[in-house]
Amino acid sequence: MPYATQLSLQEAMGPTMEEVIFLHDHVLLLTFLMTLVILLFATTATMATVTHNDPTEEVEQLEAAWTAAPIMILILTALPSVRSLYLMEEVFEPYVTIKATGHQWYWNYEYTDGANVSFDSYMIQTQDLPNGSPRLLEVDHRMIMPANLQTRIVVTAEDVLHSWAVPSLGVKIDAVPGRLNQLPLATSRTGVFFGQCSEICGANHSFMPIVVEAVPLQHFESWLSSEM
């Protein structure tokens, strides 16, 4: 969960967010190294007191170097990016499939794969919040999922564009009317994870939060049986 004055990314609570942080750190390191090299060359060129014309052969070598260097940088950036993109979007035998439908201005969750469980999730108003609950983030019905198992999340919308996003899990999916988008969803531990709609969808866009609660498998099965 984010906190005041936070400047870094949220702590990774699942494998998808771990991939996002790894890619972020990798690109940041490359950027830092490139900045150092550019500053080094700029400082050396500025402090040089003698200038001279290089032979044609040396100029060609320099042109080859500054052509090859960006290509190598792009390759070093693209390879981990493609790997992370594949891992973030590939669904491998999910334990359960949950369909999230965006409405103005609440979410509806439907558990498929024979579960036949469906409910609406509305934000709890400030005056009704229990003590210690986060303002504008808590809902009356949380989306329950099993921890340490892959879940398929399928997202769509009923009226206008929405976006289902939980930053600590590294998930952000556009909810488009008439279209189904899917992503894998997994957590590395139990807990409660907060998100919000990330697509401006109308007057109450800021008041349709997302709360995902990851519980042990046996607790999830018990909850699912009680809801059916």
Rounded-to-integer distance, Cα 148 and Cα 127, Å = 35
pLDDT digits (tens, 9 = 90+) for 76-94: 888 888 888 877 777 778 8
What is the share, in percent, of the chain residues with pLDDT greater than 90? 41
What is the share, in percent, of the chain residues with pLDDT greater than 70? 92
Which of 123, 125, 124, 126 has the alpha carbon at shortest distance from 105?
123
Rounded-to-integer distance, Cα 161 and Cα 202, Å = 9
162-166 sheet: strands from edge to edge: 143-146, 209-215, 191-197, 162-166, 171-175
Q: Which CATH architecture has domain 96-227?
A: Sandwich (2.60)
pTM score of the predicted model: 0.77
Q: Is the pLDDT of residue 21 over 90?
A: no
Residues of the chain with CATH 2.60.40.420: 96-227
Which of 182, 186, 154 has the alpha carbon at shortest distance from 169?
186
Residues of the chain with CATH 1.10.287.90: 15-89
Contact 80/21 with Cβ under 8 angstroms? Answer: no
Burial of 47 (0-12, 13-18, 19+ CB in 10 A): exposed
Question: Of 3.40.640.10, 1.20.120.1730, 3.30.1490.100, 1.10.287.90, which CATH number belongs to 15-89?
Answer: 1.10.287.90
CB atoms within 10 A of CB 144: 20
pLDDT digits (tens, 9 = 90+) for 160-205: 999 999 988 888 999 999 999 998 888 988 999 999 999 999 999 9
